[in-house]
Amino acid sequence: MNAFQAGYSQKVSLGVAPQIANSTHPLIIQRFKQLQPDVITQIEILPSNEIGEAVFRQQIDIGLSKVPSPRELLTTVIANEPVMIVGPQPFIAEEVEKGGTVCANSSNR
């Protein structure tokens, strides 16, 4: 039985960067399926820097990327993922409000 016989009326091909595929992607797809249950998604894993070009060349319909495309395409931030600094036990990271940077200091200095 093909997808359209199973009740799907449309297909969307989605290019996804590897780091998104392992984190935010499942939540985005889950929400998309709630909003569009009759649309089947075809996922293609691509490097972030190739997703915009793939959309531009119509190789995929839309993409989830960590970097903007140099092509004139609609780009919208849809998720902000936390980024954590990880170090050995004596390592202390403190956020500095100067210019939105993070300054890492070691307690052994």
The residue extents of the domains of the chain are 1-80
| Pairwise pLDDT comparison (95 vs 22), residue with the higher score | 22
Report the pLDDT value the prediction gives residue 66, as an integer from 0 to 100.
87
User: Is residue 58 helix, strand or coil?
Assistant: coil
Single pTM value for the model: 0.66
The amino acid at residue 64 is L
Class of domain 1-80: alpha beta
Report the pLDDT value the prediction gives residue 94, as an integer from 0 to 100.
54
> Does pLDDT of 93 surpass 50?
yes
- DSSP state, residue 18: H
Lowest mean pLDDT among 25-29, 32-36, 94-98: 94-98
| Pairwise pLDDT comparison (89 vs 34), residue with the higher score | 34
Report the pLDDT value the prediction gives residue 73, as an integer from 0 to 100.
93
Mean pLDDT of the chain: 79
User: Pairing state of beta strands 10-16 and 102-106?
Assistant: unpaired
Q: Report residue 92's pLDDT band, with 50, 70 and 90 as the boundaries.
A: low
